[in-house]
Amino acid sequence: MRRELPRELPTITVVLVFALGLFAFVPAFRTHDNLTAVGENAAFIGVMACGEGLVILGAGLDLSVGSMMALTSCTSALMLSRGIAWPAALIAGLATGALAGLINGLLITARRLPPILTTLATLLLFRHGISLATQAKTFGPFPDAYNAVGAGWTPFILFIIIAAGFAVLQGRTRLGRWTLAMGGSEQAAALSAVPVQRVRCLAYVVSGLCAAIGGWIVMAFNNNAQSGVGQGYELNVIAACVVGGIRITGGDGSIAGAALGAVLIALLSDALILTGRPENQTGLFTGAVILAAALIEGWRSRARLKSVAKIGAQAA
């Protein structure tokens, strides 16, 4: 069978061309403040896309990541407002994210509920629950030590470290191989002694933890938190996974591609702002990018089927 091009190649090409074009023709893009803002946007979307990517690779879907960002950041902010030390507040926020992911995972695995309906329900429950608990109050400012993760290039560096860790997890660990096997065929994975339900539940826990880290980055960068944060971010996160080459039905793609997709989404958003486009046009261009990714995926699928059919004909 002929060697296929990497699924991430179109995203890499578009990111490089787009970034070089902005750098050459939009002077405001080259400023330090703008580049750090792009890095921060890529960071929180990218960190959440790493967790979402793991879920999608295993043939799941998590629509609640934006709401988990609000839930976890408000949990930490509420504790900080009561004088609790920032390390304890941070741990509480991360633990809340993992717990929220565990709730999603258990509902999907133990109760056998559809992922899309389950996470759509928890999207609403988590966000409106924390809004009622905090009375939609805005919290802040926070201690400088807590905000350090949102300063300068720190968010982007943290994002790169986390993305590299996920790349190792996917390519070098049993969890990564099991997740891909599940996405390819859950029945075949189960027959191969893969603990399907446990792996799927763990993927949702990791997604919740990544949403908590994304929430920490955003609240540290803005020096405030409120229950409306992260609204609609789940669309950007899923878009980052799709344009990064992860097949939406699972079993193919890479988390490194999802990270690249997050960079592309951040560059696209920044380009629209710098060129004076209305903010509501961001979704229009993001949708066009997703459609292009879907067309590329369709072309790849047809090419793969033709290749397999040709080999079968030759063997016959």
Residue 309's pLDDT band (boundaries 50, 70, 90)?
confident
74 located within any domain: yes
Kindly list the distances between the CA atom of residue 257 and the CA atoms of 81, 167, 188, 253, 260, in Å, as whole numbers in the listed order: 38, 9, 25, 7, 5
Which residues span the domain enclosing 250? 9-309
**Domain presence at residue 235:** yes
CATH number reported for the structural domain that contains residue 283 in this entry: 1.10.3470
Amino acid letter for position 165: G
Q: Which of 92, 239, 258 is nearest to 169 (CA)?
A: 258
Number of domains within the chain: 1
SS3 content of the chain, % helix, strand, coil (to 5): 80, 0, 20
Residue 216 located in a structural domain: yes
* pLDDT at 199 (0 to 100): 97
Domain assignment present for residue 300? The answer is yes
Q: What is the pLDDT of residue 81?
A: 94
pTM of the model: 0.93
Q: What is the pLDDT of residues 92-149, one digit of tens each?
A: 999 999 999 999 999 999 999 999 999 999 999 999 999 999 999 999 999 999 999 9
16-49 burial, b if ≥16 CB within 10 A, otherwise e? Answer: eebbeebeeeeeebeeeebebbbbbbbbbbbbbb
| Whether pLDDT at 246 is above 90 | yes
| Assigned domain for 1 exists | no
Does 256 fall in a domain?
yes
Q: Is 122 inside any structural domain?
A: yes
In order of 89, 140, 232, 237, the CA distances from 76 in angstroms are 5, 11, 21, 22
Does a structural domain hold residue 170?
Answer: yes
User: In this predicted structure, what is the pLDDT of residue 1?
Assistant: 42
